[in-house]
Structures are given as C-alpha cells and as structure tokens.
Amino acid sequence: MRELIARCKALVRRSYSHASPVIEIGDVSINTARHQVMFRGRSVRLSAMEYRLLEYLAMRAGEVVSKANIEEHLYSFCSENFSNVVEVYICSLRKKLGSGSNRELIHTLRNQGYVLGELPA
C-alpha cells in the first residue's frame, strides 16, 4: 500500500511539472517525500494541516488558488466549513515562513485567492 501511495504522489508531482520530490520557492524548500520544510536552511515545524496547505500551494506555485479550492483540498466533501480557518492557516504559515523576510512568500489577492511565490502578471 505504501508503494502505491508513493507512486500516486509521484504521478501527481509530474502532472504539476515537479519530477523531483523537492520543491523550492524563494527561501523555502519543501521535501514532499519526507514532509519536511526548510526555510533558509533551517527546519520548520508545521502542523499536518499547515503542511498540507503549503504543499498544495507549492504544487500550484505562481497560480491564484481560491479559498474554495483550498477548502476542497483540505477537507472532505461532506464537511461544511464556513469559518475563517483557511485565513488562520495562511497567517500561521506567513509567521513561520516569513519572519524577517523582505519578500512576502504568500500573497493574498482580494476576492480571488492566494498565490505562493511570485505574483502572476
């Protein structure tokens, strides 16, 4: 079963043009095989939900990802979530990955969603 899951994750990475399990965006390095996040060479501890959110945004780096898409990815289709939980996790990630940084890593586009990395033109 573990091998099947690993193969599926590799297929997903390739579909998002990430053949390597390591995704680098600015000062952040995400090892999707080990679920490890590094910021400026230092390991960053994330909760499971923070990691899932960061990995999802990293797979779609440079794209605008709506709050609805994030909620669909993070939660089951049966759950109805009308709170600001996505905003809370985004805020937490910004604190953990952006403290002391000149460049913002996660951008908010009002009424559109979030972008990890460079803003689209």
> Helix, strand or coil for residue 72?
helix
* Domain coordinates in residue numbering, the chain: 2-116
pLDDT of residue 6: 74
Q: Tell me the per-residue pLDDT of 17-71, one tens digit each, with 9 for 90 and over.
A: 556 788 998 889 999 888 999 999 999 999 999 999 999 999 888 899 999 889 8
Task: Please give the distance of CA 90 from its chain centroid, rounded to a whole number.
Answer: 9
For 90, what's the count of Cα atoms within 13 Å in the CB-facing half-sphere?
20
Biggest CA pair distance of the chain: 43
% residues pLDDT > 70 (the chain): 82
Closest C-alpha among 37, 1, 33 to residue 19: 33
Phi, psi (deg, nearest 5) at residue 88 = -65, -45
Model confidence at 10: pLDDT above 90: no
Model confidence at 94: pLDDT above 80: yes
pTM given for the model: 0.78
CATH classification code of 2-116: 1.10.10.10
